[in-house]
Structure 1
């Protein structure tokens, strides 16, 4: 099915705050907070055609996605960190980041009058079809370290190592969407799709300044 929506409006608003404080010369405390509110602001119209020919399935169908959340990204993020700066141009640090309010990208066809015309608003199937799924909150712990070497008194060699997802948690669902194909009588027949956070990842970088 080829599905097209027109007149889609979204609103993205939020705040971000970042703080960094040096304590006792070598110790650095960091903090960050981001809050977002991303949602659809209107009721767009949709039309659809069959994949293998030009037969139109429907036109001017209203999708009631107003106030549904835009999916694909956490809307609240909190982070704290600590870094130690050594006396001989080296540093090491750790960060803790917490992510919440991540929603699946909604299937707009499930939020139409036609999708729920067989059910009353008190029917459990009505809620199952219309309700937008929110993914579980999750956190990540990351490490980073580096050292700078001065060569011949005028060149700088920088070595950096980063470890993300230190706890190697592979069960974190960090993104997802509702399939466009779905069954009016059994929403679970075509299950939602998710992506999972990779396990621990490592990155080393080398920079030479001359």
Structure 2
């Protein structure tokens, strides 16, 4: 079967792609024999569509249904016979060991399920202690870096740096639990400065004063 004949069949089945349709139309334009062949196929399809549709007789339908019932019955009979037919089991040490391993695995899984079901429910997670967001601000236009060190971060200024904002202001917002804290600002990594906005100060024992911050939950 050449390509033109294949395209004709696909045309009758309405299965042509756009590219195949273009190739078929080009071939029809160049080949009169191919056009006559397409006309014969179209006429045959049209005449076949006008043929009367014959309904199967009731006897034929009954025979088909009887065959189906017999097939289903035979299938279930084979399954039933397979389960009910006595069989001789050939026992071997290797097979016994494999069955024992499978039985132990099954028993272990059943025991684990029973233990899990009998175990008391897990206690709910403890509620986390609330925190308060505290805004620390220092005015130091000439500073190159500012950090804060206090008993809330182990007096380690590297853990809490401040960011520079407009007008030479340095600021940071940190979460703190309710309580009393002592802290100082560290400017340019060497200069320790007491917060000028602190409401309270306390001596640090080295000739300087720490700022005191009381954090309370809002009412």
TM-score (norm 2): 0.17
The structure richer in strand per residue is 1
Q: Quick one: higher RCO (CA 8 Å, sep 6+), 1 or 2?
A: 1
Which has the higher Rg, Structure 1 or Structure 2? 2
TM-score (norm 1): 0.18
The structure richer in helix per residue is 2
